[in-house]
Structure 1
Amino acid sequence: MSTPTGFMEFTRQLPGDRSPLERVQDWQEFHKHLTDQELQRQGARCMDCGTPYCHTGMEMSGGTSGCPLHNLIPEWNHLVYRGLWREALDRLHRTNNFPEFTGRVCPAPCEGSCTVGLIGQPVTIKTIEQAIVDRGFDEGWIVPEPPARRTGRRVAVVGSGPAGLACAAQLNKAGHEVTVYERSDRIGGLLMYGIPTMKLDKAVVQRRVDLLAAEGVKFVTSTEIGKDIMAQQLVEQYDAVVLCGGATKPRQFEIEGSHLQGVHYAMPYLNGTIKSYLDSGLRDGQYISAAGKDVIVIGGGDTGSDCVATALRHGCRSITQFGTHAKAPLERDSLVNPWPQFPNVYTLDYAQQEAKALYGHDPREFSIMTTRFVGDEQGNLQELHTVQIQRSVDAAGRKSYEPVPGTERVFPAQLALIAIGFDGPEATLIDELGLETDRRSNVKARYGQYSTSVDKVFTAGDMRRGQSLVVWAIQEGRDAAREVDKYLLTGSSLLP
């Protein structure tokens, strides 16, 4: 607890953002920062709620409630309130290897289950989290801490996204020799190439990668396991192998005209732009450009929003984002969406704010489905045909969509980006190692132990649980590291 009446004395305050009309002209992070005094006041709003739900990390009604990492949120809020920033950093790192990532890109389910939110606005947990770790780097408190001794055990981690990096960081702390294999030319997985730079500056990612390297983690880039190196070789050469390759197989969208030029899946679009920006500041032209085009983004989630923001920075002529879900209410419906569930309310994400500033309206179309793509004689996309839909959910939780007669529409488009999610991990490693999979095609692992059907092989992150949040990936990487440590040390581990 900070101060018993802080949540009544101080109102919720978020750092301002750069003007949407300004920030769409560049690729820099757009959030501003609160002062130390303002942050201390926000920390003071953390109340003595008895049983905090902010760090529960439960899945409820298809969403996440509380922090999956079980961050010690009330503790570091109190320390910030008292001005004890170094101690707050220690508490933050105790449960989270990469708070500089989650403080920037996590949707903050912790805030959705904050007790103060029952009667008012929740504590600005995410803002305080980022401020603590950024100050730690600025003050030089965060330095390499290699293990005091090595165990002689060798572990290969396949994939350098948040799960792979968290797993590698923890196993390295335990003294094992860890090598991370990444098929891209840069370390970071979706942190590097899946999330646009305006949400997560890649220098922030590289800073942590450099720190891990200084602590002894070995990184091998431009090497795809299953192609450049066979997976079985890793199993033979290492004492344990942890697969953290993510859920990168896009959900297919096969309708009439989906083969047309100008129809692309979201990740190649985002990946290409980020790589070109990092390589040459977009001067090499090695990316799918939205410049001067009418762009339709099919998918209402975070990836779709990132496509919107990227297209705006390319200089698109117009932008529209389709979602099959209905428009959310302005306030939480306590009957169908009660606390501490993540609140399903109407908001404008950063991308929608930018589109509205440029074009005067929210770019989203709700409860809409694309029925076909139409092109010209040369096979170039010209327009999308749509219909409004009505969604229903049966007793088993299965969703179905019925078209509403008379609601057909036509949208001009020269570029369509499909951002409707992923259908699990790619099959290369699964097939080569003969791994068992679950009904969703994810790698099957023993509950709570992360061990697969093949001896010495473990898995974590989206490759095991399916497409999810960065914070879940970090939690899975940490937990898998503890289980690998137990396996290597015959049943014991000091890792949290």
Structure 2
Amino acid sequence: MGKITGFLEYERQDETYEAPEKRIKNYKEFTIPLEEQELKAQGARCMDCGIPFCHSGCPLGNLIPDFNDYVYKGNWKEAAKILHKTNNFPEFTGRLCPAPCEEACVLGINEDPVTIENIEKNIVETAFKEGWITAQPPKVRTKKTVAVIGSGPAGLAAAQQLNRAGHYVVVYERDSKVGGLLRYGIPDFKMEKHIIDRRVKVLEEEGVIFKTNSHVGIDVDASKLKEEFDAILLCGGATVRRHIPIPGADLKGVHQAMEFLKLNNEYVDGVADFENIISAEGKNVIVIGGGDTGSDCIGTSNRHGAKSVTNFEILSKPPEGRPAHQPWPYWPMKLKTTSSHQEGVERFFSISTKEFIGDKKGNLKGLKTVEVEWLFKEGERPQLKEIPGTEKTWDCELALLALGFTGSEKTLAEQFGLKMDFRTNIEASTKDYATNVSGIFAAGDMRRGQSLIVWAISEGRQAAHHVDAYLMGESNLPLKDGFDLPRV
């Protein structure tokens, strides 16, 4: 590395945020970028490890020490080339990934880890600004055709890889715009949607065809699709939302988080009126579920002008530091405080919702909870126990269920005759991502279940390799890392 003593000379420095009272007045991104010299210093903190673990912590295998070194040296163009060797969409991961690479950083053993995610975002933003990211259409077409179903990060990554291998690729998306949960599940204050649009434009210039408002299995016949294409890759995500089976769950005012977020994103996009969304304005909002989706609901509710925002999590409160039983370089389950939490929320852990309370007109007015504790016994699953005498009633006019997903929808499996696993995901092995039906493959959340954006991109890239090999007998597309080599 260029600055061998950089990790001794510079402290970790993160992007700062606009003040909460300012940023909650709109839906724009609110990070304040570091200056170039500050970013170079952050790249210099990469400590020339004998054996770096950061890139093994990353599902994409990003060549992190290499691009950190080029950032330190000010060679942003070379850094962008290296970053794009393994990651099709660093502008997505640089904003949305929880950065397992940083938890695996060697410097993180006894100091703050390198700001890998922020460096990644600045590399790709510099590349777009300088015009270095341009379409790379294949020099030769194979005349093979591939249908990719779903335009989330897995589908987009696979489509770009397969197109660059020379195949004709058509992406089917059931919604009106491309992006999947990137567009409809992620609020604009975390990623503005022009970030998706500029990358989709590059894919279109490379030759990828997008067909929106095309719900395969509903208004696009699955059997005809199989006749028309040489291969099909399913990247439809894990979209079956988990419900809460308690009294009052059907009251007006109890909504799934993704319903709430999608309608709001459509409002921000200008395709829906505020009157037609699920509004938190002036309401006591309770978000049930403590993950990233719950956090997104908190930030959105505050922007609506909620009277109060409360967050329930049934699990115990995690420690603020790395737990002893999750040593470096493993991913630690520790307390996460997001920018949305900082904007205003009261958080409660080890609490379970028992009943929703409504008025005579069926409107939600409150809910009942009880505190719980988790009992652990070696060799057995943890047991949940309610604590007597801890029942409580809360005022609530809007309850948002951010409880995750239980698997993929069954429509495609039924129409294509595909096997599903015990978690109702499409059954396909990581060996080749192939399903039980010849020529049909699956990747991303639809195959592995609800997961991270970085895993979706990784699976899309790897599945593309196996689809290419199925079509051509061999593939030059990378499995995890290396150059994106078009067939010549």
TM-score range (shorter-chain normalised) is over 0.9
Q: Distance in 2 between matches of 1:421 and 1:70?
A: 27
Give the equivalent residue in structure 2 for 1:369: 352
Q: Paired residue for 1:354, among 343, 367, 370? A: 343
Identify if the C-alpha distance between structure 1 residues 397 and 16 changes in structure 2 by more than 3 Å, giving closer, same or farther: farther
Q: Which residue of 1 aligns with 2:448?
A: 465
Map 1:252-331; keep pairs closer than 5 Å: 252-280=243-271, 283-331=273-321
1:431 aligned partner: 414
Equivalent residues in 2 for 1:440-459 (5 A)? 440-459=423-442
Aligned counterpart for 1:400 among listed residues 366, 370, 383: 383
Q: Give the structure-2-normalised TM-score.
A: 0.96
Which residue does the alignment assign to 1:92? 83
Give the alignment of 1:32-181 within 5 angstroms: 32-56=32-56, 66-181=57-172
Q: Could you tell me how far apart the structure 2 residues matched to 1:193 and 1:152 are?
A: 33
Paired AA for residue 440 in structure 1: R
- How far apart in 2 are the matches of 1:22 and 1:176? 48
1:223 to 204, 209, 214: 214
Cα deviation, residue 405, structure 1? 1.1
Question: Which residue of structure 1 aligns with residue 483 of structure 2?
Answer: none
**Following the alignment from structure 1 to structure 2, what is the Cα–Cα distance between the partners of residues 149 and 52?**
38
Determine if contact 2:161/2:477 at 8 Å carries over to the other structure.
Answer: no
Please give the alpha-carbon distance, in whole angstroms, between the structure 1 residues aligned to 2:140 and 2:115: 40
Change (3 A) 1:397 1:249: farther
* Cα deviation 1:142-163 (Å, max 9, x = unaligned): 1111111110000000000000
Q: Would the aligned equivalents of 1:2 and 1:43 in 2 still touch at CA under 8 Å?
A: no
Q: Give how far 1:490 is off.
A: 1.6
TM-score, normalized by length of structure 1?
A: 0.95
Distance 1:13 1:83 in 2: 18
Give, as a single letter, the amino acid of the residue that structure 2 aligns with 1:275. E
Q: Secondary structure at the match of 1:306?
A: helix
C-alpha distance in 1 between matches for 2:45 and 2:431: 35
Alpha-carbon distance between aligned partners in 2 of 1:476 and 1:485, rounded to the nearest angstrom: 14
Q: How far did residue 396 of structure 1 move?
A: 4.9
Which residue of the partner structure matches residue 20 of structure 2? Answer: 20
8 Å contact from structure 2 (residues 464, 477) kept in 1? no
Partners of 1:494 and 1:264 lie apart in 2 by 43
Letter in 1 for 2:322: R
Look up the match of 1:201.
192
For each residue in 1:21-45, what CA deviation from the matched residue of structure 2 results, as whole angstroms up to 9, or x when unmatched? 1100100001110111001100000
Whether the 8 Å contact between 1:174 and 1:495 is mirrored in structure 2 is: no
DSSP-derived class of the 2:372 partner: strand
The secondary structure found in structure 1 opposite 2:47 is coil
Q: How far has the Cα of 1:493 moved from its partner?
A: 3.4
Find the aligned partners of 2:380 and 2:366 in 1 and give their Cα distance.
Answer: 34
Alignment deviations for residues 60-91 of structure 1 (CA, whole Å, 9 cap, x no partner): xxxxxx11000000000001011110000000
CA contact (8 A) 1:179 1:220 kept: yes
Deviates more, 1:386-395 or 1:418-427: 386-395
Q: Distance between the aligned counterparts of 1:48 and 1:402, measured in 2?
A: 49
- Distance in 2 of aligned mates of 1:341 and 1:322: 27
Give RMSD over aligned pairs: 1.2
In structure 2, relative to structure 1, the CA distance for the partners of 1:495 and 1:329 (3 Å cut) is closer
Q: 2:470 aligns with which of 487, 491, 494?
A: 487
CA contact (8 A) 1:55 1:72 kept: yes
Task: Extract unaligned runs of 5+ from structure 1.
Answer: 57-65, 356-361
Q: Is the 8 A contact 1:170 1:495 kept in 2?
A: no
Deviation larger for 87-96 or 440-449: 440-449
Structure 2: how far apart are the matches of 1:447 and 1:216?
28
Q: 1:314 Cα shift?
A: 0.8
Q: Which residue of 2 aligns with 1:336?
A: 325
